[in-house]
Amino acid sequence: MKRLEDIVSLCKRRGFIFQGSEVYGGMAGTWDYGPLGDILKRKLMNEWWNYFVEKRDDIYGIDSAILMNPKTWEASGHTTTFSDPLVECKECKSRFRADKIADGISESVTTEEFLKTHTKCPVCGKENWGPIRKFNMMFSTRVGAVLPDDDAEMTKNTTTYLRPETAQGIFSNYKNIIDTIYPDIPFGIAQQGKAFRNEISPRDFILRDRECTQMEIEYFIKPETWEEEFEKIRLLQHDFLENIIKLNPEDITEYEVPENDRAHYSKRTIDFMFNYPNGEEELMGLAYRTDFDLRNIEKASGKSMEYRDKKTGDNFVPHIIEPSIGVERLFLAVLSTAYTEDEINGEKRIVLKLPENLAPYRFCVSPLLKNKPELVEKAKEVYEKLREKYVNVTWDDSGNIGKRYRKQDEIGTFECVVIDFDTLEDNTVTIRNRDTTKQTRVKIEEL
Protein backbone atom coordinates (compact mmCIF):
# COMPACT_ATOMS: atom_id res chain seq x y z
CA MET A 1 0.00 0.00 0.00
CA LYS A 2 1.32 3.45 -0.90
CA ARG A 3 2.20 5.69 2.04
CA LEU A 4 2.28 9.48 1.99
CA GLU A 5 5.56 9.53 3.94
CA ASP A 6 7.27 7.49 1.20
CA ILE A 7 6.18 10.00 -1.45
CA VAL A 8 7.32 12.91 0.74
CA SER A 9 10.70 11.21 1.19
CA LEU A 10 11.10 10.70 -2.56
CA CYS A 11 10.19 14.34 -3.24
CA LYS A 12 12.94 15.55 -0.89
CA ARG A 13 15.53 12.97 -1.95
CA ARG A 14 15.18 13.59 -5.67
CA GLY A 15 14.55 17.32 -5.74
CA PHE A 16 10.82 17.56 -6.37
CA ILE A 17 9.66 19.44 -3.26
CA PHE A 18 11.46 20.96 -0.25
CA GLN A 19 10.10 22.48 2.95
CA GLY A 20 9.71 26.25 2.52
CA SER A 21 12.53 28.27 4.14
CA GLU A 22 14.06 24.99 5.33
CA VAL A 23 17.50 26.50 5.98
CA TYR A 24 15.91 28.75 8.64
CA GLY A 25 13.88 25.98 10.25
CA GLY A 26 11.00 25.99 7.78
CA MET A 27 7.60 27.66 7.73
CA ALA A 28 4.42 25.63 8.14
CA GLY A 29 2.16 25.43 5.10
CA THR A 30 4.80 26.57 2.60
CA TRP A 31 6.72 24.45 0.10
CA ASP A 32 9.43 25.09 -2.47
CA TYR A 33 9.62 23.19 -5.76
CA GLY A 34 13.06 21.91 -6.74
CA PRO A 35 14.34 21.36 -10.30
CA LEU A 36 12.27 18.24 -10.99
CA GLY A 37 9.22 19.52 -9.15
CA ASP A 38 9.29 22.72 -11.15
CA ILE A 39 9.38 20.75 -14.41
CA LEU A 40 6.43 18.56 -13.41
CA LYS A 41 4.44 21.51 -12.08
CA ARG A 42 4.91 23.47 -15.30
CA LYS A 43 3.91 20.44 -17.37
CA LEU A 44 0.70 20.02 -15.39
CA MET A 45 -0.14 23.69 -15.83
CA ASN A 46 0.68 23.56 -19.53
CA GLU A 47 -1.49 20.47 -20.07
CA TRP A 48 -4.42 22.16 -18.35
CA TRP A 49 -3.95 25.40 -20.30
CA ASN A 50 -3.60 23.55 -23.59
CA TYR A 51 -6.71 21.43 -22.95
CA PHE A 52 -9.06 24.11 -21.62
CA VAL A 53 -7.78 27.25 -23.36
CA GLU A 54 -5.45 26.75 -26.34
CA LYS A 55 -7.58 24.07 -28.00
CA ARG A 56 -10.83 26.00 -27.60
CA ASP A 57 -12.22 29.04 -29.38
CA ASP A 58 -14.50 30.12 -26.53
CA ILE A 59 -12.10 30.49 -23.58
CA TYR A 60 -9.67 33.38 -23.14
CA GLY A 61 -6.76 33.69 -20.74
CA ILE A 62 -5.85 36.57 -18.45
CA ASP A 63 -3.29 37.24 -15.72
CA SER A 64 -4.65 39.55 -13.03
CA ALA A 65 -2.97 41.19 -10.03
CA ILE A 66 -2.60 39.43 -6.69
CA LEU A 67 -3.33 42.66 -4.80
CA MET A 68 -6.79 44.05 -5.51
CA ASN A 69 -8.91 46.92 -4.29
CA PRO A 70 -10.29 45.81 -0.89
CA LYS A 71 -13.83 46.54 -2.12
CA THR A 72 -13.39 43.37 -4.18
CA TRP A 73 -13.49 41.18 -1.08
CA GLU A 74 -16.35 43.10 0.50
CA ALA A 75 -18.49 42.70 -2.64
CA SER A 76 -17.63 39.02 -3.00
CA GLY A 77 -18.52 38.26 0.62
CA HIS A 78 -15.05 37.05 1.56
CA THR A 79 -14.59 39.54 4.40
CA THR A 80 -17.65 38.11 6.18
CA THR A 81 -18.00 34.49 5.01
CA PHE A 82 -14.54 33.18 4.05
CA SER A 83 -13.90 31.41 7.33
CA ASP A 84 -13.25 28.05 8.92
CA PRO A 85 -14.46 26.74 12.31
CA LEU A 86 -11.62 27.30 14.80
CA VAL A 87 -11.55 25.58 18.18
CA GLU A 88 -8.99 26.04 20.95
CA CYS A 89 -7.90 23.54 23.59
CA LYS A 90 -8.20 25.22 27.01
CA GLU A 91 -5.49 22.99 28.43
CA CYS A 92 -2.56 23.49 26.00
CA LYS A 93 -3.91 26.48 24.00
CA SER A 94 -3.46 24.63 20.67
CA ARG A 95 -5.83 25.69 17.90
CA PHE A 96 -7.38 23.46 15.26
CA ARG A 97 -9.91 23.44 12.48
CA ALA A 98 -12.80 21.69 14.21
CA ASP A 99 -14.18 19.73 11.25
CA LYS A 100 -10.76 18.21 10.54
CA ILE A 101 -10.09 16.72 13.97
CA ALA A 102 -13.58 15.34 14.65
CA ASP A 103 -15.47 12.70 12.66
CA GLY A 104 -18.88 13.16 11.10
CA ILE A 105 -19.13 16.96 11.20
CA SER A 106 -19.03 19.65 8.51
CA GLU A 107 -17.60 23.15 8.15
CA SER A 108 -20.85 24.57 9.54
CA VAL A 109 -20.44 22.70 12.83
CA THR A 110 -21.70 24.38 16.01
CA THR A 111 -20.02 24.27 19.42
CA GLU A 112 -22.69 21.92 20.72
CA GLU A 113 -22.26 19.51 17.77
CA PHE A 114 -18.49 19.50 18.18
CA LEU A 115 -18.59 18.83 21.94
CA LYS A 116 -20.90 15.85 21.35
CA THR A 117 -18.14 14.14 19.35
CA HIS A 118 -15.97 13.93 22.51
CA THR A 119 -12.88 14.65 20.45
CA LYS A 120 -9.59 14.70 22.37
CA CYS A 121 -6.91 17.29 21.69
CA PRO A 122 -4.34 15.87 19.23
CA VAL A 123 -1.56 17.62 21.22
CA CYS A 124 -2.28 17.03 24.92
CA GLY A 125 -4.98 14.35 24.76
CA LYS A 126 -7.42 16.28 26.97
CA GLU A 127 -11.07 17.03 26.21
CA ASN A 128 -11.51 20.62 27.32
CA TRP A 129 -12.53 22.84 24.44
CA GLY A 130 -13.52 26.46 24.03
CA PRO A 131 -16.37 27.58 21.75
CA ILE A 132 -16.24 27.28 17.97
CA ARG A 133 -15.16 30.59 16.42
CA LYS A 134 -15.16 31.65 12.79
CA PHE A 135 -11.62 32.34 11.57
CA ASN A 136 -11.25 34.38 8.38
CA MET A 137 -8.51 32.84 6.25
CA MET A 138 -7.49 35.88 4.22
CA PHE A 139 -4.00 37.31 4.67
CA SER A 140 -4.19 41.06 5.26
CA THR A 141 -1.45 43.46 4.21
CA ARG A 142 -0.87 47.21 3.94
CA VAL A 143 -0.56 49.18 0.73
CA GLY A 144 1.45 52.38 0.62
CA ALA A 145 3.64 54.21 3.14
CA VAL A 146 1.95 53.23 6.40
CA LEU A 147 3.86 53.41 9.69
CA PRO A 148 3.11 51.57 12.97
CA ASP A 149 2.15 54.83 14.74
CA ASP A 150 -0.25 56.05 12.04
CA ASP A 151 -3.84 56.57 13.17
CA ALA A 152 -6.38 53.78 12.98
CA GLU A 153 -8.36 55.37 10.16
CA MET A 154 -5.29 55.62 7.91
CA THR A 155 -4.37 52.03 8.71
CA LYS A 156 -7.89 50.84 7.90
CA ASN A 157 -7.97 52.69 4.58
CA THR A 158 -4.69 51.13 3.43
CA THR A 159 -5.52 47.52 4.38
CA THR A 160 -6.04 45.01 1.61
CA TYR A 161 -5.59 41.27 1.21
CA LEU A 162 -3.56 38.72 -0.66
CA ARG A 163 -6.15 37.16 -2.95
CA PRO A 164 -7.64 33.93 -1.54
CA GLU A 165 -8.76 32.88 -5.02
CA THR A 166 -8.02 33.81 -8.63
CA ALA A 167 -11.73 33.99 -9.54
CA GLN A 168 -12.28 37.59 -8.45
CA GLY A 169 -9.53 38.77 -10.80
CA ILE A 170 -11.57 37.24 -13.60
CA PHE A 171 -14.87 38.76 -12.47
CA SER A 172 -13.36 42.22 -12.08
CA ASN A 173 -12.09 42.01 -15.69
CA TYR A 174 -15.32 40.61 -17.16
CA LYS A 175 -16.43 44.05 -18.33
CA ASN A 176 -13.02 44.73 -19.91
CA ILE A 177 -13.23 41.46 -21.84
CA ILE A 178 -16.68 42.04 -23.32
CA ASP A 179 -15.82 45.66 -24.15
CA THR A 180 -12.60 44.75 -25.97
CA ILE A 181 -13.20 41.41 -27.69
CA TYR A 182 -17.00 41.02 -27.32
CA PRO A 183 -17.03 37.19 -27.36
CA ASP A 184 -20.04 35.14 -28.29
CA ILE A 185 -21.86 33.67 -25.31
CA PRO A 186 -21.20 31.12 -23.85
CA PHE A 187 -17.56 32.02 -23.27
CA GLY A 188 -14.97 31.51 -20.56
CA ILE A 189 -12.12 33.42 -18.96
CA ALA A 190 -9.26 31.35 -17.57
CA GLN A 191 -6.46 32.14 -15.18
CA GLN A 192 -3.58 30.38 -13.46
CA GLY A 193 -1.93 32.01 -10.48
CA LYS A 194 -1.11 32.18 -6.80
CA ALA A 195 -3.75 32.24 -4.08
CA PHE A 196 -3.22 32.58 -0.33
CA ARG A 197 -5.18 31.10 2.55
CA ASN A 198 -4.21 31.39 6.19
CA GLU A 199 -5.00 27.78 7.04
CA ILE A 200 -5.56 27.12 10.74
CA SER A 201 -3.63 23.87 10.66
CA PRO A 202 -1.77 23.12 7.40
CA ARG A 203 -1.26 19.38 7.00
CA ASP A 204 -0.94 16.40 4.70
CA PHE A 205 2.09 17.71 2.80
CA ILE A 206 0.96 19.93 -0.13
CA LEU A 207 -2.73 19.05 0.18
CA ARG A 208 -3.53 21.89 2.54
CA ASP A 209 -1.02 24.73 2.46
CA ARG A 210 -1.05 28.50 2.87
CA GLU A 211 0.21 29.38 -0.60
CA CYS A 212 -1.04 27.52 -3.65
CA THR A 213 -1.42 27.82 -7.40
CA GLN A 214 -4.96 27.74 -8.75
CA MET A 215 -6.24 27.03 -12.25
CA GLU A 216 -9.75 28.36 -12.71
CA ILE A 217 -12.24 29.11 -15.45
CA GLU A 218 -15.30 31.30 -15.12
CA TYR A 219 -17.67 30.21 -17.88
CA PHE A 220 -20.34 32.82 -18.70
CA ILE A 221 -23.66 31.42 -19.90
CA LYS A 222 -27.31 32.19 -20.48
CA PRO A 223 -29.19 31.41 -17.22
CA GLU A 224 -31.55 28.90 -18.82
CA THR A 225 -28.68 26.76 -20.15
CA TRP A 226 -26.81 26.21 -16.87
CA GLU A 227 -27.67 22.52 -16.41
CA GLU A 228 -26.61 21.63 -19.96
CA GLU A 229 -23.35 23.58 -19.71
CA PHE A 230 -22.64 22.24 -16.23
CA GLU A 231 -22.87 18.67 -17.52
CA LYS A 232 -20.57 19.40 -20.48
CA ILE A 233 -17.85 20.74 -18.19
CA ARG A 234 -18.30 17.87 -15.74
CA LEU A 235 -17.51 15.40 -18.50
CA LEU A 236 -14.56 17.50 -19.69
CA GLN A 237 -13.06 17.42 -16.21
CA HIS A 238 -13.22 13.63 -16.16
CA ASP A 239 -11.65 13.48 -19.61
CA PHE A 240 -8.81 15.77 -18.56
CA LEU A 241 -8.03 13.90 -15.35
CA GLU A 242 -8.34 10.41 -16.78
CA ASN A 243 -7.13 10.71 -20.39
CA ILE A 244 -4.67 13.62 -20.32
CA ILE A 245 -3.23 13.36 -16.81
CA LYS A 246 -3.80 9.58 -16.75
CA LEU A 247 -5.19 9.30 -13.23
CA ASN A 248 -6.88 6.03 -12.39
CA PRO A 249 -10.67 6.51 -12.85
CA GLU A 250 -11.24 4.19 -9.89
CA ASP A 251 -9.50 6.71 -7.64
CA ILE A 252 -11.86 9.53 -8.69
CA THR A 253 -15.36 9.93 -7.26
CA GLU A 254 -17.91 12.74 -7.34
CA TYR A 255 -19.33 14.25 -4.19
CA GLU A 256 -22.51 16.28 -4.54
CA VAL A 257 -22.00 18.97 -1.91
CA PRO A 258 -25.14 19.48 0.20
CA GLU A 259 -26.63 22.95 0.41
CA ASN A 260 -25.48 23.73 3.95
CA ASP A 261 -21.85 22.93 3.04
CA ARG A 262 -21.71 24.79 -0.28
CA ALA A 263 -19.90 28.08 -0.65
CA HIS A 264 -22.15 31.10 -0.14
CA TYR A 265 -22.22 31.84 -3.89
CA SER A 266 -23.03 28.33 -5.15
CA LYS A 267 -26.36 26.83 -6.19
CA ARG A 268 -24.75 23.49 -7.08
CA THR A 269 -21.26 22.14 -6.41
CA ILE A 270 -19.58 18.86 -7.25
CA ASP A 271 -16.28 18.03 -5.60
CA PHE A 272 -14.12 15.63 -7.57
CA MET A 273 -12.58 13.50 -4.84
CA PHE A 274 -9.31 11.58 -5.21
CA ASN A 275 -8.11 8.59 -3.23
CA TYR A 276 -4.77 9.88 -1.90
CA PRO A 277 -2.53 7.63 0.23
CA ASN A 278 -3.83 9.38 3.37
CA GLY A 279 -7.48 9.08 2.35
CA GLU A 280 -10.05 10.69 0.08
CA GLU A 281 -9.65 14.44 -0.42
CA GLU A 282 -10.98 17.06 -2.82
CA LEU A 283 -9.00 17.33 -6.07
CA MET A 284 -11.13 19.45 -8.38
CA GLY A 285 -14.30 21.47 -8.04
CA LEU A 286 -17.22 22.40 -10.26
CA ALA A 287 -19.60 25.11 -9.05
CA TYR A 288 -22.64 26.88 -10.47
CA ARG A 289 -22.20 30.42 -9.10
CA THR A 290 -25.40 31.82 -10.73
CA ASP A 291 -25.09 35.60 -11.25
CA PHE A 292 -23.98 36.16 -7.65
CA ASP A 293 -20.59 37.67 -8.44
CA LEU A 294 -21.60 39.98 -11.28
CA ARG A 295 -24.65 41.23 -9.40
CA ASN A 296 -22.50 42.05 -6.38
CA ILE A 297 -20.04 43.93 -8.58
CA GLU A 298 -22.98 45.92 -10.01
CA LYS A 299 -24.11 46.89 -6.51
CA ALA A 300 -20.63 47.77 -5.26
CA SER A 301 -19.38 49.61 -8.35
CA GLY A 302 -22.57 51.07 -9.78
CA LYS A 303 -21.59 49.77 -13.22
CA SER A 304 -23.74 47.52 -15.39
CA MET A 305 -22.54 43.94 -15.87
CA GLU A 306 -25.09 43.16 -18.58
CA TYR A 307 -24.16 41.32 -21.75
CA ARG A 308 -25.93 42.12 -25.02
CA ASP A 309 -26.75 39.01 -27.01
CA LYS A 310 -25.48 39.44 -30.60
CA LYS A 311 -28.25 37.35 -32.10
CA THR A 312 -31.32 38.44 -30.15
CA GLY A 313 -30.27 41.86 -28.86
CA ASP A 314 -31.38 40.86 -25.35
CA ASN A 315 -29.51 42.36 -22.39
CA PHE A 316 -28.93 40.17 -19.34
CA VAL A 317 -26.39 39.44 -16.62
CA PRO A 318 -24.75 36.09 -17.43
CA HIS A 319 -24.67 33.21 -14.99
CA ILE A 320 -21.38 31.48 -14.28
CA ILE A 321 -20.06 27.93 -14.04
CA GLU A 322 -16.66 27.53 -12.42
CA PRO A 323 -14.34 24.53 -12.85
CA SER A 324 -11.31 24.94 -10.58
CA ILE A 325 -8.33 22.92 -9.44
CA GLY A 326 -5.28 23.43 -7.28
CA VAL A 327 -1.99 22.58 -8.97
CA GLU A 328 -0.55 21.19 -5.74
CA ARG A 329 -3.40 18.74 -5.29
CA LEU A 330 -3.10 17.64 -8.90
CA PHE A 331 0.67 17.30 -8.44
CA LEU A 332 0.22 15.00 -5.45
CA ALA A 333 -2.49 12.99 -7.23
CA VAL A 334 -0.10 12.40 -10.13
CA LEU A 335 2.72 11.34 -7.81
CA SER A 336 0.36 9.09 -5.83
CA THR A 337 -0.72 7.37 -9.04
CA ALA A 338 2.81 7.04 -10.43
CA TYR A 339 4.64 5.95 -7.26
CA THR A 340 5.36 2.24 -7.52
CA GLU A 341 7.48 -0.25 -5.62
CA ASP A 342 8.37 -3.46 -7.43
CA GLU A 343 11.17 -6.00 -7.62
CA ILE A 344 13.68 -6.48 -10.43
CA ASN A 345 15.97 -9.50 -10.29
CA GLY A 346 15.35 -9.85 -6.58
CA GLU A 347 16.12 -6.20 -5.88
CA LYS A 348 13.51 -3.72 -4.60
CA ARG A 349 12.94 -0.79 -6.94
CA ILE A 350 11.11 2.52 -6.53
CA VAL A 351 9.81 3.91 -9.81
CA LEU A 352 7.63 6.84 -10.82
CA LYS A 353 5.52 5.53 -13.68
CA LEU A 354 4.59 8.95 -14.99
CA PRO A 355 2.86 9.20 -18.36
CA GLU A 356 5.20 10.27 -21.16
CA ASN A 357 3.68 13.76 -21.39
CA LEU A 358 4.43 14.42 -17.69
CA ALA A 359 7.77 12.68 -17.20
CA PRO A 360 10.40 15.30 -16.20
CA TYR A 361 12.74 13.84 -18.82
CA ARG A 362 11.86 11.97 -22.01
CA PHE A 363 15.39 10.53 -22.23
CA CYS A 364 18.47 10.22 -20.07
CA VAL A 365 21.65 9.89 -22.14
CA SER A 366 24.71 8.12 -20.69
CA PRO A 367 28.08 6.86 -21.85
CA LEU A 368 28.57 3.29 -20.65
CA LEU A 369 31.92 4.37 -19.12
CA LYS A 370 32.70 7.98 -18.29
CA ASN A 371 36.47 7.42 -18.38
CA LYS A 372 36.45 6.56 -22.08
CA PRO A 373 36.67 9.84 -24.04
CA GLU A 374 35.42 8.30 -27.27
CA LEU A 375 32.21 7.09 -25.55
CA VAL A 376 31.69 10.42 -23.79
CA GLU A 377 32.16 12.36 -27.03
CA LYS A 378 29.65 10.19 -28.89
CA ALA A 379 27.20 10.35 -26.00
CA LYS A 380 27.42 14.16 -25.96
CA GLU A 381 26.65 14.18 -29.67
CA VAL A 382 23.53 12.04 -29.12
CA TYR A 383 22.53 14.15 -26.12
CA GLU A 384 22.65 17.40 -28.12
CA LYS A 385 20.60 15.90 -30.96
CA LEU A 386 17.91 14.64 -28.59
CA ARG A 387 17.80 17.91 -26.65
CA GLU A 388 17.26 19.80 -29.88
CA LYS A 389 14.36 17.51 -30.77
CA TYR A 390 12.72 16.82 -27.38
CA VAL A 391 14.07 19.56 -25.07
CA ASN A 392 13.42 17.62 -21.86
CA VAL A 393 16.49 15.38 -21.99
CA THR A 394 19.03 14.89 -19.19
CA TRP A 395 22.61 13.63 -18.90
CA ASP A 396 23.97 11.18 -16.31
CA ASP A 397 27.41 9.63 -16.08
CA SER A 398 27.61 9.15 -12.30
CA GLY A 399 28.19 5.68 -10.81
CA ASN A 400 27.69 2.44 -12.66
CA ILE A 401 24.94 1.93 -15.20
CA GLY A 402 22.73 0.03 -12.76
CA LYS A 403 22.75 2.91 -10.27
CA ARG A 404 21.93 5.34 -13.06
CA TYR A 405 18.92 3.25 -14.03
CA ARG A 406 17.65 3.20 -10.44
CA LYS A 407 18.03 6.98 -10.12
CA GLN A 408 16.23 7.64 -13.40
CA ASP A 409 13.47 5.20 -12.42
CA GLU A 410 12.87 7.16 -9.22
CA ILE A 411 12.54 10.50 -10.98
CA GLY A 412 10.30 9.10 -13.70
CA THR A 413 12.58 9.41 -16.76
CA PHE A 414 10.73 7.63 -19.54
CA GLU A 415 13.70 5.94 -21.27
CA CYS A 416 17.46 5.71 -20.87
CA VAL A 417 19.81 5.82 -23.87
CA VAL A 418 23.24 4.24 -23.38
CA ILE A 419 26.19 4.71 -25.72
CA ASP A 420 28.63 1.78 -25.67
CA PHE A 421 31.46 0.47 -27.83
CA ASP A 422 29.03 -1.08 -30.33
CA THR A 423 27.69 2.44 -30.92
CA LEU A 424 31.04 3.47 -32.30
CA GLU A 425 30.89 0.60 -34.79
CA ASP A 426 27.29 0.54 -36.00
CA ASN A 427 25.71 3.82 -34.75
CA THR A 428 23.15 1.99 -32.62
CA VAL A 429 22.35 2.61 -28.96
CA THR A 430 20.69 0.70 -26.15
CA ILE A 431 17.28 2.02 -25.08
CA ARG A 432 16.03 0.86 -21.72
CA ASN A 433 12.32 1.33 -20.88
CA ARG A 434 11.52 2.60 -17.39
CA ASP A 435 8.39 0.55 -16.71
CA THR A 436 9.34 -2.79 -18.25
CA THR A 437 13.17 -2.44 -17.93
CA LYS A 438 13.32 -4.05 -21.39
CA GLN A 439 16.40 -3.10 -23.44
CA THR A 440 16.52 -2.82 -27.23
CA ARG A 441 19.05 -1.66 -29.84
CA VAL A 442 18.02 1.08 -32.26
CA LYS A 443 19.73 3.34 -34.77
CA ILE A 444 20.49 6.82 -33.47
CA GLU A 445 18.54 8.42 -36.32
CA GLU A 446 15.45 6.43 -35.22
CA LEU A 447 15.34 8.01 -31.76
Q: Which of 33, 29, 22, 43 is nearest to 361 (CA)?
A: 43
Specify the pLDDT at position 142. 87
CB atoms inside a 10 Å sphere around CB 55: 9
Residues of the chain with pLDDT under 50: none
**So what's the architecture of 361-446 in CATH?**
3-Layer(aba) Sandwich (3.40)
For residue 191, the SS3 value is strand
Residue type, 297: I
Packing angle between helix 4-13 and helix 327-338, nearest 10 degrees? Answer: 100
Dist. CA 300–CA 72, nearest whole Å: 9
For 171-204, the pLDDT digits (tens) are: 999 999 999 999 999 999 999 999 999 988 888 8
Nearest Cα residue to 62 out of 171, 167, 178, 170: 170
Q: Are 294 and 317 spatial neighbours (Cβ–Cβ below 8 Å)?
A: yes
Predicted confidence at residue 77, as pLDDT, reads 86
Residues of the chain with CATH 3.40.50.800: 361-446
Look at residue 346 in the predicted model and tell me its pLDDT: 84
Strands (E), 228-306: 252-256, 268-276, 279-290
pLDDT (0 to 100) of residue 155 = 66
Strand partners, 216: 191, 324
Per CATH, the homologous superfamily of domain 4-70+153-335 is: Bira Bifunctional Protein; Domain 2 (3.30.930.10)
pTM value surpassing 0.75: yes
Residue range(s) occupied by CATH 3.30.930.10 in the chain: 4-70+153-335
Report CA torsion sign: 395, 396, 402, 407.
negative
